[in-house]
Amino acid sequence: MIGAAAGIFEAMQAGIAVNRAGKGGDTLAATLYGASMGFSSIGAGFGIAAAASGSSALLGPLGIAIVLGFLAYSFYQWAQRKESSPFEQWAKRCYFGLANETPKVHWLRPDQAHIAIAELNAATLGLEVGVNFRLRMTGLSSPDYGGPIAGISAPVYEQCLEYRLSLPYFDASRSAYRWTLTIHRHGDGPATQYTRGEVVAGGELDPPAIATSASERRAALATSTPPKKPDYRANT
């Protein structure tokens, strides 16, 4: 049953990847992620059938679930290799790029030149920043409640906002940085000209004494529009 729960979890992960790749304009990657999601979903179904019947024969539902799991993993890895690299992503967003992402990112105006240059510098140096939503399995429900089959536990998930910052050739004695993760809610202004925001995470090491364009924009942001109900748990 643990394998079936893992299959459901992997299908959800692949579904999120389909959405991410599709919005990033990577059609082939989205298709491959979709195939992985399909294999994981069907494999989870066979896993549940094997658990319900108590069968452990490799030529039965359990064997089919294992094969489908391998196929799902292979397609997921293939899809990851087909997603745009930082340079390819920059090329799509620059003045001559396709700009096929959703929402559309296209640096066409003179006042966006500094963004394009900063993004190119980051790609050249190998600086990587990633932010995405991910479903994380936190445990299993009670066997008597919430499962797809009576008496069998179901996985319990929570949605997390993950962020990653990679600084190549980092040397604590010579390097310096300052970073913040700012969220914008509905009502904080248009997507390209936010006037409000909330910093939910940040860090620094020997930051520059002078103000930068990024720090000035952050300081100019007013407090984000408060939601009616808390939309995230702090310190998690």
Q: Which helix (H) or strand (E) holds 183?
A: strand 177-183
- 8 backbone dihedrals φ, ψ, rounded to 5°: -65, -45
CA 107-111-117 angle, 5° bins: 60
CA Rg value for the chain? 22
SS3 189: coil
Find the DSSP H helices in the chain: 2-23, 27-53, 61-82, 86-93, 113-125, 213-220
pLDDT digits (tens, 9 = 90+) for 99-126: 999 989 999 999 889 889 989 999 998 9
Residue 160 has what pLDDT? 84
pLDDT digits (tens, 9 = 90+) for 71-106: 999 999 999 999 999 999 999 999 999 999 998 999
Asked whether 130 and 164 are in contact (CB, 8 A), the reply is yes
Q: At what angle do helices 113-125 and 86-93 cross, to 10 degrees?
A: 170
Whether the link from the prior residue into 208 is cis, omega within 30° of 0, is no
User: Does the predicted model carry a pTM greater than 0.75?
Assistant: no
Residue 94 has what pLDDT? 95
Q: Which residues pair with 128 in a beta bridge?
A: 166
